[in-house]
Amino acid sequence: MRNEDFLKNKQIAILELDDVLFPNKDYLLQVYYLFAQFIEYTEHQNAQEILAFAKTEFLQNGADGLFDEVAGKFKIDDKYRYNFELLHENARLPLKLLLFEKMLKLMQDLVVERKKIYIVTKGKPEQQLNKIKQVEWNGLEKYLTVFFSDELNQEKSETFQKILNTNGLTASEAFVVGANNSDKKQSEILNLPYISIENI
């Protein structure tokens, strides 16, 4: 996509966070690393073995039920489920989360062209905010407006409409960048132009 051509008639970009601005796995794998270190410290188990197992499970089967798999494998007490879940919300990552290069370029072009950038993200607001705080934004953070769908207790399409209304724009003057069918469907409800991250 040639950004300069596409952006001519657009005033707003609406972006998801996970797997659109950065790979969500970059966040989760660091959370698992910190949890493994915590278990090594408290229960004297091998952190490298725990992390290796957690990483394999995550890459093969996803994040759902991961604690149960790890706890079962290493006989970790269920009381540590709280710590595992809390780390998702307040972990201080060893490494900054890096934007996809193509999204960094798109956002820089948007700023140069004085277009507005909104992030509309689904998921626990505390966790999503924690991610945002640990992204290497390259100075772009001051140009962002963020909405948390779960905090607003509304579908993304409703948030999209709110953004359009606030700016007095039609759907054709904005666009959404997403990473899954849900993002696409929410955009289609309003006839908002939708671009998959794969096509940026």
Give the residue carrying structure tokens 């707003």. Answer: 12
Residue 153's CB: how many other CB atoms inside 10 A? Answer: 8
The pLDDT of residue 200 is 84
pLDDT of residue 152: 85
Q: How many C-beta atoms lie closer than 10 Å to residue 61's C-beta?
A: 11
- pLDDT at residue 146 in the model: 97
At residue 72, what is the residue type?
A: G
Paired tokens of 200: 């940026």
Q: Which residues of the chain have pLDDT under 50?
A: none
Instruction: Quick: pLDDT tens for 14-50.
Output: 999 999 999 999 999 999 999 999 999 999 999 999 9
Q: What is the pLDDT of residues 4-20, one digit of tens each?
A: 667 788 999 999 999 99
Answer yes or no: are the C-beta atoms of 31 and 67 closer than 8 Å: no
Question: Terminus-to-terminus CA distance in the chain, angstroms?
Answer: 6
DSSP string for 116-182: EEEEEE-S-HHHHHHHHHTEE-TTGGGGEEEEEHHHHTS-HHHHHHHHHHHHT--GGGEEEEESSHH
Q: Quote the DSSP letter at residue 180.
A: S
Looking at residue 2, its pLDDT comes to: 63
